[in-house]
Each structure stands twice: as structure tokens, then as C-alpha cells.
Structure 1
Amino acid sequence: MKTDKEIEEMFGLTREDIEELAAPWEAGEIPGVPVGEVIVGRPLKFGEHLKLVGFKETEQKIERMDKRADSLGMKRSDYLRWLVDRDLAAAGIA
């Protein structure tokens, strides 16, 4: 386990620096421009019937899909939904 001094040297911040940086966040004052509510996961579909959509693909392509989804901060299913939504919007039938 690292000591406080080792951690401070590693990150270049003292405990006091961290407390000062954390104070606005703890008070609910998040700096920057608000971009809207962050929603994680599958969109809710209340009132609509859902059907399973699936297809088979090679392991190599699935690995590449997962890597791309991860780079976008998504799960595979969210990534695939996002791609379909973008394509339908581009075709004007979303």
C-alpha cells in the first residue's frame, strides 16, 4: 500500500489540492457547459411491443464491434442500435 506522500508525488497533488478541487463538485457546482441528462443503457420503450432482433457474425467481426463500441463508451447492443438509428435517420425513415 502506498503512503500519502508517495501518492502525492505520483500525481503531483497534495491532499489539500484534492480537497480544493473537490469542493465545487461536492457543493453540486459542476463547471462547464451543461450538455443534458446522461442516459446509460437501452432506451426505454414503454407502451411499445418489443421484438428480438439478432444475427450471427464471425468472432473476429464481433471482437471488432465490441472494440469500437467500447471506444465510444457503449455496450455492443447500444452500439448496434445507434448504428441502425443513424442509418434510418440518414435514409429519412427514422
Structure 2
Amino acid sequence: MSETLLSVAHTMVATRRSVLGLINDHDIESPFVVFAEPDEEAASGAEPVHLNLEQEVIAAEAAWGRVKQLLEPVMQEVGTWR
């Protein structure tokens, strides 16, 4: 279970870094990404979501660090059971 949580946290960081890398590789000047419904589905009323990927990477890295910090004692304890 703890490995799964660490993997999810790491994946959050890696995916955000990858998208930010694509933006940089293609000389896109804005770090913002907007997720919105296609025009024909816009009638659903869902509001677009605006993300600043630079801030998202920082937040995901902080979350990953916190998950590692919280799970480290548990993983050490479980390791003593084996």
C-alpha cells in the first residue's frame, strides 16, 4: 500500500513535469493550461479549469515529499516485521 501511495505521488510530479517540458520544448511562452469542454458539450455548464503548471509542479513535489515523510516511519516499521 505504501509503495502505491509513493508511486501515485511520484506520478503526479512526473506528469506535470512532462507537460511543462512539452510547453518549454515548443517555445510556448505561457505555463498555463486550460481544460474545457468541447464547444458542443459546453452547454453542460462545466467551467474551464485553468492551471499554472509551474505552480502545479511545485505543489506536486511538496505533496510527494510529504507522502514520503509520512510513510517513512511506517515502511521502516513494516520492514521489521519481515
TM-score under structure 1 normalisation? Answer: 0.25
Q: Name the one with the larger helix percent.
A: 2
Rg (Cα) greater in structure: 1
Q: Name the one with the larger strand percent.
A: 2
Higher relative contact order structure (alpha carbons within 8 Å, sequence separation ≥ 6) = 2
TM-score under structure 2 normalisation? Answer: 0.28
